[in-house]
Structure 1
């Protein structure tokens, strides 16, 4: 008697109509403890399975990736039905009318339309009507703290109700208690092109005694007619409104002609060491998986003077960069520390789909681009794998991409119903994302302050308030809970 197709799939032993299913070790989404074998008839009538069978090879394994696109030939049910049934010969899409019945085609179209609805919920353009917002747990008023910047990339909080703010264009400011901006001189010269410029800023854990701060930025040099750039970390001393004793304690190698994916978020760990991200600079084929002579697509860990901790995971690996803490990253632009466990958490830009939240562990491979939940911007798959042995799965991933930047855990008592939640800025959809966790599992999400602007940074301040930085025009807001 013929085994059920589900059983054969779970064993990695079958190819159906030109589509090869991978083994459970390669794709945990197709098989595993929750995979229930089904009959051949049920298998072929399931629109989710039909999508994997006929569509995923060209459009990406996750249907959500596919629907996050421009619909050149229309995205109504009739349009989708027609395209799948009759194909698009001039664009290389085959016709599937001979393989799928009209009933199955209609079910597949409905399945895709549900995915389109998931994208549409992010994309309305209605602007906020006031500075007061109702959320699921409380009412929040956005109090304007500072304005006058262009792209406020990061915030750091000083004693006396003041803060430091970096502007990606290279300007560096102190926001005074009266909400005015004071320029600070001595910031590094930056290549303010593409995604580069003056980026993160954090204080030394002993700032009260040593006045040291750390800035990440796009460092550049000329090579003939070409301008090359990389991610660098500068340590400096803040004396009044001037930086002194500037020195680069880290410069990522190799430099690149590209002008994107710098990473650049920093966080001091409970161990006193400086953790920071470096993006893969757009060269995913080489940089993120190479640890020898290559700092790109990595999270690094160094001492505050730039020297290397003796217990870094690759210190004894011949040829490896000793500062590397882990690898296989694309472009992490959010980094924070868990207030209880002390673990470093990041959020990271995927391509089209596949933005991630990760917990950073020593020596681990986070998989980019071998495994990903996203596809290329041109609609073509990057990899047919979302999981592989030896590569870390994200805590959470977003489809469609929200463009995450900035990351903070909610602590203290001002936001009691949010305590322990994770906040991420969304550049693409212009909101703040609230992520509810149970342990390390995401159990709920809420969109906050929709269309407030591209949220570049989010921080918990020593005064117990949450602050967000919004782009163009650059504004910084304090989140003030309002009693009902």
Structure 2
């Protein structure tokens, strides 16, 4: 493993110090721990608490908020009143380990047809695997419900175990393509095997078919779905305002990554990593000319990025186009200054709890969803 650059080493020392305090038990928020910050650059408002939240998405017509809980509940939270109700018609999920109900995303056509996309984990021949489905969200009548749920994609193959499903969703800015992150299921080697979709990011049509023009389209089979490969556990997937696709990925022991995702690129797992195997086994670091796409930013020790948002608003001056990662073991909100295809300054804000999801609200506020244990829904606005 390469020695840390001095600036990065200093930043991670700040993160380790900030995360050592037990602020989560009291439910309070500690001070910001970013470079040069003496206080929070944002005000924090607690709006709700949930049991084991995983993802959230705003509906474009009303600003109402959909929130998934890993155990299998989908909530709809009213933008005006803050009232929250469970949505009926959610599929049965395998709630074990990292498995359960995952991401939620309104279709680009939502205002015309009410379609929303969901990811979850199901059981089947060979074990378990991630699934993506879509349904119409009906909000009239006695309560919200999903109608006409259909599966449009399945992770291939199903295998034993309950880790590294990933199953984050992102639509291309033109609405023509659905991207899905697919973890390596803690197996490693399948991430280099293009006859399966483990350890990949796939690009599909909205109907779940392999998108025309994919790098391995001529190969046929599930390989025709693949956009990039060599991934371990990409739990964040987001397009920047300029259209570039980014992913945050959990490394092994260290080596968490922020990656610029490009068609046909191999990101190296498990052949290379800036981290080490659990138990101390060494893995070659990324190196120039090794044939693998290197991360634009990596973290040692681990922060465990569980989500990714690229900010497109203007409410926070100077942050437009920057990446925000929710750190699980790091118990932090991490901002990376993005300039086109390169990463600059990094700020780390100690939140005192595992951050599971980060989203931009309709007004440009930043919404943070903490993991089970704290489970708070927070709204961040610029400090006055």
Looking at structure 1, the residues matched to 2 and 29 of structure 2 have their Cα atoms a distance apart, in angstroms, of 37
Q: Say whether 1:62 aligns with 2:2.
A: yes
The two structures have a TM-score, normalised by structure 1, of 0.71
Give, in angstroms, the shift of residue 132 of structure 1: 8.6
Give unpaired runs (5+ residues) of structure 1: 1-60, 65-112
Name the larger-Rg structure: 1
Aligned-pair RMSD on alpha carbons? 2.4
Alignment of 1:23-422 (within 5 A): 61-63=1-3, 117=13, 120-127=16-23, 136=37, 139-147=41-49, 149-158=50-59, 159-177=61-79, 178-221=81-124, 228-240=127-139, 241-271=144-174, 272-285=176-189, 287-292=190-195, 294-317=196-219, 321-340=223-242, 342-383=243-284, 386=287, 388-422=289-323
1:469 matched to which residue of 2? 369
Structure 2 unaligned segments of length 5 or more: list them. Answer: none
Equivalent-residue separation in structure 2 for 1:232 and 1:320 (angstroms): 14
Aligned to 1:316, the other structure's residue is in SS state: helix
| TM-score, with structure 2 as normaliser | 0.89
Give 3-state SS (helix, strand or coil) of 2:338's partner: strand
Higher relative contact order (CA 8 A, sep 6+): 2
Higher strand share: 2
The C-alpha deviation readout for 1:394-440, integer Å capped at 9, x for no partner, is: 11111111000111122222100322221100000211001123333
Is contact 1:421-1:437 (8 Å) kept? Answer: yes
Following TM superposition, by how much is the alpha carbon of 1:351 offset from its aligned partner in structure 2, in angstroms?
Answer: 0.3
CA distance in 1, matches of 2:188, 2:45: 41
Quote how far apart the aligned CAs of 1:344 are.
1.0
Q: CA shift at 1:392, angstroms?
A: 0.7
Distance 1:455-1:384 versus aligned 2 partners, 3 A rule: closer
SS of residue matched to 1:400:
coil
Which structure carries more helix by proportion? Answer: 1
Output the CA distance in 1 between the equivalents of 2:334 and 2:157. Answer: 34
- Alpha carbons of structure 1 residues 374 and 387: separation in structure 2 relative to 1, 3 Å: farther
Distance 1:269 1:115, change over 3 A: closer
User: CA deviation digits over 1:346-402, x for unaligned, max 9?
Assistant: 000000111111111111111111111010111111346655532111111111110
Residue in structure 2 matched with residue 478 of structure 1 by the alignment: 379
Alignment partners' CA distance in 2, 1:363 and 1:409: 22
What secondary structure, in the 3-state scheme, does the structure 2 residue paired with 1:288 have?
A: helix
Distance 1:192 1:234 in 2: 17
Matched residue SS, 1:277: strand
Number of residue pairs matched by the alignment: 367
SS in 2 for 1:154: strand
Q: Is the Cα–Cα contact under 8 Å of residues 53 and 369 in structure 2 kept in the other structure? A: yes
